[in-house]
Amino acid sequence: MKLLVSVTSLREAIEALAGGADIIDVKNPKEGALGASTPNLVSKMRAALRNVELSATLGDLPNLPGTASFAAFGAAMAGADYVKVGLFGSKAVNDAIRLSSKVVDACRGTGSKVILAAYADYKRFNGLNPLLLPKVASASGADGVLVDVQRKDGGCVFDYLTQEELRKLSVDARNLGLISALAGGLKAADVGCVQQLGFQVFGVRRAVCKVKPNGSRVLDRSLVASLRRAIREVEENNLVV
C-alpha cells in the first residue's frame, strides 16, 4: 500500500520524502478538502523532485466540464503524474461522467493519470455518493478513484461510510482495473483496516502534521516515517499469515 502525503510547499515535500512518502500530493487546504495549489508550484516540485510520483489536486470543482478540463491540462503539463478531480458540484452520475470525460480527454497523451474523488460526507451537501465512483471512472476512462472527507472539522471517513460500503467500493474498483485510494482523517491506527478493505493508497495530511500554537499545521518527517513503518509492519504481518 502506497503512502500519499499532501503538502503545500517544496519544503514540506522534502520533509515528506525524507519520512518515506511514496506519493507527494500538492494541494492548498485553504481552498477546500481538495483545494488546488498553483501550476508554478507543481512545476517547481517536478523540477526539483524528478524521480518522485507527484499528484496535484484541481479543487472541489463545480459542475463546469470546460473549467475542469483546462485545470486538468494545466496540472498535467506542469508535471503531475496524477490529476485529482474533486467531484463536488456534480450531483448526478451523468454530470460526473460528463465532467470526468472532459478531464480525461484533456489529459490524454500527457502521461498523467486521472483520479476521481468524491466525499464520504456527501449527504451534508447533497453530493455524489462515492460508491458510484467506480462506475463514473469506468464510463469516463479515468484511472482511479479516491474517497475523502469534504469538511475538515475533525471527522473521519469512517464516521460517514461503513467498512462494508468501503470494501465494496475497493472491490468494484479493483474489478474494473482502477487505482483505489482512501483519505479523510486517517491515522496510523487505521492502517490495518484500510489494507484489509483493499485500498492501494493511504492518503494523509493531518496525521503527519504537528499543530503550532497559532493553530497552523507543520508537516513532520518523523510522523511520516512512523506511518510508513506502520504500513510496512502490517504488510509484513499479512505476508507471514
- Active-site residue flag, 135: no
Contact 153, 185 (CB under 8 A): no
- Active-site residue flag, 210: no
Q: Indicate which residue of 2, 27, 135, 168 is catalytic.
A: 27
- Measured N-to-C along each axis, helices 39-48 and 65-77 cross at an angle, to the nearest 10 degrees, of 30
* Bridge partner list, 56: 26, 83
Q: Indicate which residue of 30, 44, 84, 187 is catalytic.
A: 84
* Bridge partner list, 201: 2, 181
Q: 5 in helix, strand or coil?
A: strand
Q: What is 107-174 written as a DSSP string?
A: HTTTTPEEEEEEETTGGGTT---GGGHHHHHHHHT--EEEEE-SS-SS--GGGTS-HHHHHHHHHHHH
For residue 184, give Cα distances in angstroms to 4, 13, 173: 12, 19, 18
Length of the chain: 241
Contact 34, 233 (CB under 8 A): no
State the catalytic residues.
27, 84
